[in-house]
């Protein structure tokens, strides 16, 4: 069903609601409210007061039964699959409650809810604030948002001119809200583009330093190991799980590595390009023939990686690995 609202905010009594259905169709609609009656009797049989409840009945003379005056209790009924939002419902930001619902903003052409109005007296101020429906993540024990309190405070304030008609005022508010939202979208889009550009620069820098600094230092270590009777393998690719660029140096203290290298058998240095945080995540192991340790270490800023620091890190791993087999 389509419902259109026509209201004058300066005079709510003139508000009108137009339904796109006939009277017969309207009569077939489900009721939006249910009532239950609780008898105010002093007891019944072996039951104490308030332990017995019944629907009211009336005497021939038109009076209520002697059991007492029944109290009617009404309950709102929401259609199956729908949710109800009421004025005064609590509104929760990510970091706590921010206020209560004042009302909803309805888009006039398609009759969709576009915004939730936060009533005066909320945590961020004394005036009404319009919250875009897109940032509502759920309606459970109140309305729950994806914004923080500070972000809600920066949303536009609703200020209506009582001298204008309801349609004009609502249209102006919607225009202001959508303009503000468009500005935020453009700002967020710019920030996303800048973040993506930073990530691209980081990836480019990592590939450059891998080709010109990290890999040559690893190759020099492998060559020295082979000259001294050991061996090594450099693996260059991407993580199967995260897709991050990865560079691993596997080492052997005795002979070339046969088969697939293992963290419990071979010393290693693993460098992962963490694009999100623009840093190098480091794993290293000094295990040789199942003696030693394998662990993640502190992240390595890209700017601190040089041929010398790479070589020092690898030599330290080899020294610890060789020390496990020493006789005390």
pLDDT tens string 143-171:
888 888 888 777 766 554 444 444 444 55
Return the minimum-mean-pLDDT range out of 32-36, 108-112, 270-274: 32-36
Predicted pLDDT of residue 158? 58
User: Is the per-residue pLDDT at 59 higher than 80?
Assistant: no
Q: How high is the pLDDT of residue 165?
A: 42
Q: Are 210 and 216 in contact (CB under 8 A)?
A: no
Whether residue 127 contacts residue 157, with contact meaning beta carbons closer than 8 Å, is answered with yes
SS3 of residue 265 by DSSP: coil
Nearest to 269, CA basis, from 238, 292, 247: 247
E-assigned strands of 39-145?
71-76, 90-93, 96-106, 113-118, 129-132, 136-139, 143-145
Instruction: For the chain, give the mean pLDDT.
Output: 75
pTM score > 0.85 for this model?
Answer: no
How many helices (H) and strands (E) in the chain?
5, 15
What local confidence, expressed as pLDDT, does residue 217 receive? 95
What pLDDT does residue 108 have?
Answer: 63
Contact 38, 53 (CB under 8 A): yes
With 90 as the cut, is the pLDDT of residue 181 above it?
no
pLDDT surpasses 50 at 100: yes
């Amino acid at each position: 069903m389509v419902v259109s609202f026509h209201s004058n905010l300066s005079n709510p009594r003139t508000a009108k609601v137009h339904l796109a259905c006939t009277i017969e169709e309207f009569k077939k609609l489900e009721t939006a409210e249910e009532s239950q009656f609780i008898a105010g009797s002093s007891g019944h049989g072996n039951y104490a007061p308030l332990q017995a409840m019944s629907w009211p009945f009336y005497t021939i003379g038109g009076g209520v039964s002697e059991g007492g005056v029944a109290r009617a209790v009404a309950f709102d009924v929401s259609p199956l699959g729908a949710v109800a939002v009421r004025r005064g419902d609590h509104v929760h930001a990510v970091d706590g409650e921010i206020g209560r619902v004042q009302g909803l903003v309805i888009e006039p052409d398609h009759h969709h809810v576009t915004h939730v109005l936060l009533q005066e007296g909320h945590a961020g101020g004394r005036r009404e604030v319009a919250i875009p429906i897109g940032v509502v993540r759920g309606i459970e024990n109140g309305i729950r948002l994806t914004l923080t309190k500070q972000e809600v405070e920066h949303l536009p304030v609703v200020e209506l001119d009582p001298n204008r008609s309801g349609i004009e005022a609502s249209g102006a508010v919607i225009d202001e809200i959508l303009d503000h939202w468009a500005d935020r979208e453009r700002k967020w889009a710019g920030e996303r583009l800048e973040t993506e550009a930073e990530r691209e620069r980081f990836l480019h820098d990592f590939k450059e330093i891998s080709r010109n600094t990290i890999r040559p230092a690893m190759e020099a270590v492998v060559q020295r190991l082979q000259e001294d009777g050991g061996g090594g393998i450099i693996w260059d690719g991407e993580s199967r799980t995260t897709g991050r660029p990865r560079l691993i140096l596997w080492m052997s203290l005795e002979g070339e590595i046969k088969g697939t290298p293992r963290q419990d058998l071979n010393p290693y240095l693993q460098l992962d390009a963490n694009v999100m945080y623009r840093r190098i995540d480091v794993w290293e192991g000094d295990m040789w023939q199942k003696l030693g340790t394998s662990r993640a270490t502190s992240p390595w800023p890209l700017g601190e990686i040089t041929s010398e620091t790479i070589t020092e890190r690898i030599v330290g791993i080899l020294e610890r690995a060789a020390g496990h087999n020493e006789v005390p």
